[in-house]
Structure 1
Amino acid sequence: MRRAAIVGTGAIAAAHAESLRVMGERVELVAVVDVDADRASAFAAEWGVPRVHLTATALLEAEELDVVHVCTPPRHHVPVALDCLAANVNVLVEKPPALSLSEIDTLIAAERASTGRVATVFQHRFGPAAVRLRRLVSEGVFGRSFVAKCDTLWYRGDAYFDMPWRGTWESEGGGPTMGHGIHQFDLLLSVLGPWQEIRAVAVRQARDVQTEDVSMALVTFADGTVASVINSVLSPRETSQLRFDFERATVEVEHLYGYTDAHWTVTPAPGHDEIVTRWREEPSGIVSGHRCQLAAFLDALDSGETPPVTLADTRNTMEFIAALYASAFTGTVVKAGQIGPDSPFHATMEGIGAPWVNTR
């Protein structure tokens, strides 16, 4: 049985604890960490965890671990992951995995020197419908990809940002582009492959924060697909939507925080009704979520493979985010590979500074 620990016992930690419990005898949650001792103890009591530590350092000194689940506020993700890699422990880190491309590159370098591996929580990649979609795309069932859209239209009121680490570049790394839409467009990227260039805008419409509360992008992919991406925390009718228009069918999903097959529709082009039959060959009622990704993570460890989502995969998504901000803040088209160490958007997503910075 593998041994796991959770660092950070805030809201998302419960999803990790539940996923670990569902895995049964494959993995045991042996310890939790939080700087708030009372919160850590309450979490441990709720989930039947035998030991509590106040720091990741203390955890790694005291426990023999196979994997650490990093569920802290975003600015602590990389420091904790680096400590784990130094101890040769695998890491499953919540989104956003880092605050910048520079931090991702630091993790990549540290991983090369460690027997531990880092995987990012992008759980929507692992729902059965998304796995099926990628397979059918790779088999050519849908034909060429033409058009796509990716909308994360959520609502977060002023009270949501009362927590001091939210809505700041230093602590959260960005607004809904970094913290909310990232799941949907990561899934978009996993289906459509390499992106080529981005034209974007980002605005601060209503929330009293440092970061954007809305961003929009037009994206061209290497295969010629064009896509729109919208990220918002100002949308009272909340939805998470993806649409792919292929040569032989339109594939769509609309959900909020997790999907089943019931959230997906496939509309065939005239003369291609057989595609619907192919889609329905493997029905599933499983909800996309941490459980699906954790199972894939453990399967990889058991087989000696690198757990998904790798840092190389993660870097592609983080580069997309950096390019979106760079395009929005400079008013230029940004191409894949353009943001190197000499770019201000490599060290921080804020880059040269948001256009509204002097209007607060």
Structure 2
Amino acid sequence: MPSGNKYRVAIVGAGAIAAAHAGAVEDLGDRAEVVAVADLDGARAAAFADEHGVPAVFTDLATLLADVHPDLVTVCTPPGAHREAVLASLAAGAWVWCEKPPVLSLAEYDELAAAEPDQGPYVGYVFQHRFGSAARTLRQQVAEGTLGRPHVAICHTLWYRDHDYYAVPWRGHFETEGGGPAMGHGIHQMDLMLSLLGDWHEIRSLMGTLDRDVQTEDVSVAAVSFESGALASVVNSVLSPRQESYLRFDFTDATVEVSHLYGYDNSHWTWTPRDGVDGAAWAPPSDEASSHTVQLKAYLDAMDAGVRPPASGHDGRRSLELVTGLYQSAITGQPVRREDLRPSNPFYSLLDGGGQYRPARPGTAPEAAR
């Protein structure tokens, strides 16, 4: 329960995504309030505090935790700083809501999971696309078998990021970002797919560095089989001028699709029943857009109940497992099963397998893929 009348929230990292976190807290103002912000750049932290009415400003997390004792810390730093921020916050007794990608490897993810006390606080991760009303409705239909068995899925993140986007020093490097578009962009749509279809079984993939001057990939394609028997096509790109986030699910009795970019409401979804099947009752009963606000509401509900929030633990690990398997398969040229992702596997600790991916000049195949 809150330490006062509301949950006291601290935001770590005052970059662009922090505004979405502050906005979500403001939307739920009867339940939470931002009481502090920390950023290594003191001027940026101060400007953020002025804009959002935050009373306390810090340049380091340790001092914030000692002085403020927040109930919830939201981590908005670059990916390479997630691990230390989460560990420090959990040790201080705070719940944590961390931006995607969760951390840089499965090894780091499991380290954070081991740092959670048995009864909480817990660390959850920002995967807001699974929380809109349409996705919630479809998830219930899948669980109840309303649409029949899932057979085919398409999960395409076709975005565009220009060369200037990668001028930021931490972007485009495995050691600081964890990976390329599969890790930093497509992980949202892949998480939504996994939240609907469950655990995957095997992945076969290709990736390349075709146009951007980065040490990671800038495009990947994959074929995925699920434990249910369903098969999926997955594409992650930052080279696509006409941008789209597109998912399609073909069930026995219906096709369900969503086309959007960075967020959706019900109008972005379609349910198409097969001939002879009545699909009138399949529309979502409410219209709630995917957003940080709708996920934070679910997170605060979990805090109220003292239970693990969604998109944490095994539920939050699924997307990082799939990304890890994607990189291993693309780099080694071999299929990867989920059960292969053990601590003895070099890709468990480093998503490039310890320097195994060496991108060639744009337009040619990387050395490891030849």
Normalised by the shorter chain, which TM-score bucket? over 0.9
Could you say which residue in structure 1 is the equivalent of 2:337? 335
Q: Write out per-residue CA displacement over residues 78-106 of structure 1, whole angstroms, 9 at most, x where no aligned residue.
A: 11000011111100000001000110010
1:278 and 2:287 matched: no
Q: Write out per-residue CA displacement over residues 209-267 of structure 1, whole angstroms, 9 at most, x where no aligned residue.
A: 00000011100001110000000000000000000000000000000000000000011
Could you say which residue in structure 1 is the equivalent of 2:368? none
Q: Write out per-residue CA displacement over residues 104-147 of structure 1, whole angstroms, 9 at most, x where no aligned residue.
A: 01001111468321000000110010000000111111001110
Cα RMSD of the aligned pairs, angstroms, is 1.3
Matches within 5 A, 1:120-269: 120-269=125-274
Structure 1: unaligned runs, 5 residues or longer = none
From 310, 313, 319, give the equivalent of 2:312: 310
From 30, 34, 38, give the equivalent of 1:29: 34
Residue type of the alignment partner of 1:347: S
4+ residue runs over 2 A deviation: 112-115, 352-360
Indicate if the aligned counterparts of 1:127 and 1:287 stay in contact, CA closer than 8 A: yes
Residue type of the alignment partner of 1:121: V
CA distance in 2, matches of 1:43, 1:19: 15
Could you say which residue in structure 1 is the equivalent of 2:351? 349
CA distance in 2, matches of 1:48, 1:349: 39
| Identity in percent | 52
Q: What is the CA-CA distance between 1:356 and the residue it aligns to?
A: 3.3
Q: What is the CA-CA distance between 1:349 and the residue it aligns to?
A: 0.5
Could you say which residue in structure 1 is the equivalent of 2:64? 59
Matches within 5 A, 1:281-296: 282-284=285-287, 286-296=288-298
Indicate if the aligned counterparts of 1:35 and 1:54 stay in contact, CA closer than 8 A: yes
CA distance in 1, matches of 2:325, 2:283: 37
Could you say which residue in structure 2 is the equivalent of 1:12? 17
CA distance in 1, matches of 2:46, 2:306: 34
Residue type of the alignment partner of 2:14: T
Residue type of the alignment partner of 1:128: S
- Secondary structure at the residue paired with 1:134? helix
- Secondary structure at the residue paired with 2:339? coil
Could you say which residue in structure 2 is the equivalent of 1:326? 328
CA distance in 2, matches of 1:358, 1:185: 27
Could you say which residue in structure 2 is the equivalent of 1:76? 81
Indicate if the aligned counterparts of 1:198 and 1:217 stay in contact, CA closer than 8 A: yes
Structure 2: unaligned runs, 5 residues or longer = 1-5, 363-370
Question: Higher mean Cα deviation, 112-121 or 191-200?
Answer: 112-121
Indicate if the aligned counterparts of 2:137 and 2:284 stay in contact, CA closer than 8 A: no
Q: What is the CA-CA distance between 1:307 and the residue it aligns to?
A: 1.4
Indicate if the aligned counterparts of 1:143 and 1:248 stay in contact, CA closer than 8 A: yes
Question: What TM-score do you get using the length of structure 2 for normalisation?
Answer: 0.94
Residue type of the alignment partner of 1:12: I
Indicate if the aligned counterparts of 2:120 and 2:306 stay in contact, CA closer than 8 A: no
Residue type of the alignment partner of 2:297: A
CA distance in 1, matches of 2:90, 2:119: 6
Q: What is the CA-CA distance between 1:316 and the residue it aligns to?
A: 1.8
Give the count of matched residue pairs: 357
Residue type of the alignment partner of 1:283: S
CA distance in 1, matches of 2:360, 2:218: 17
CA distance in 1, matches of 2:84, 2:272: 46
Residue type of the alignment partner of 1:305: V
- Secondary structure at the residue paired with 2:217? coil
